[in-house]
Amino acid sequence: MNVSPPVLLAIYCGTIFIVSVVGGRLSEHGAMTHMRTQLVMSLVAGFILGVALFHLLPHSLERIPEPGAVNAAMLAVVAGMIAMVVLLRVFQFHQHDFSEEADVQGPTRSNGRGLAGVALGLSLHAVTEGIALGASVRIGLTEAGMLPGLGVCLAILLHKPLDAFSITGMMKHAGKARGARLAANVAYALICPLAALASYFGAGLLDAVAEGPALGYGLAFAVGVFLCISLSDLLPEVHFHRHDRGKLLLALLTGVALAYALYFVEAMAPAH
What is the per-residue pLDDT across 97-143, written as a single tens digit (0 to 9) for each?
Answer: 555 455 444 444 445 556 777 778 888 888 888 988 988 888 766 66
Amino acid identity for residue 14 in this structure = G
What pLDDT does 135 receive? Answer: 84
CA distances in angstroms from 258 to 11, 216, 235, 264, listed in the order given? 22, 24, 20, 10
Higher-confidence residue of 30 and 258: namely 258
Which of 54-58, 226-230, 231-235, 236-240 has the least mean pLDDT?
236-240
76, pLDDT greater than 90 = yes
| Residue 115: other Cβ atoms inside 10 A | 18
Mean of the per-residue pLDDT values of the chain:
79
Average pLDDT over residues 11-39: 82
Confidence band, pLDDT 50/70/90 cuts, at residue 50: very high
Higher-confidence residue of 266 and 101: namely 266
What pLDDT does 84 receive? Answer: 87
Q: Please say whether the beta carbons of 227 and 81 come within 8 A.
A: yes
Secondary structure percentages of the chain, helix, strand, coil, to 5: 80, 0, 20
- DSSP for 227-272, please give it: HHHHHHHHHHHHHH--TTHHHHHHHHHHHHHHHHHHHHHHHH----
What pLDDT does 131 receive? Answer: 86
What pLDDT does 178 receive? Answer: 86
- DSSP for 158-219, please give it: HHHHHHHHHHHHHHHHTT--HHHHHHHHHHHHHHHHHHHHHHHHHHHHHHHHHTSHHHHHHH
Q: Which residues have a Cβ under 8 Å from the Cβ of 110 and sit 6 or more positions away?
A: 170, 173, 174
CA distances in angstroms from 57 to 64, 145, 217, listed in the order given? 11, 19, 10
What is the per-residue pLDDT across 160-198, written as a single tens digit (0 to 9) for each?
Answer: 888 888 888 888 878 888 888 899 999 999 999 999 999
Average pLDDT over residues 225-232: 88
53, pLDDT greater than 60 = yes
Q: Is 94 helix (H, G, I), strand (E, B) or coil?
A: coil
Q: Is 3 helix (H, G, I), strand (E, B) or coil?
A: coil
Q: How many CA atoms lie within 13 A of 179 on its CB side?
A: 0
What pLDDT does 30 receive? Answer: 60
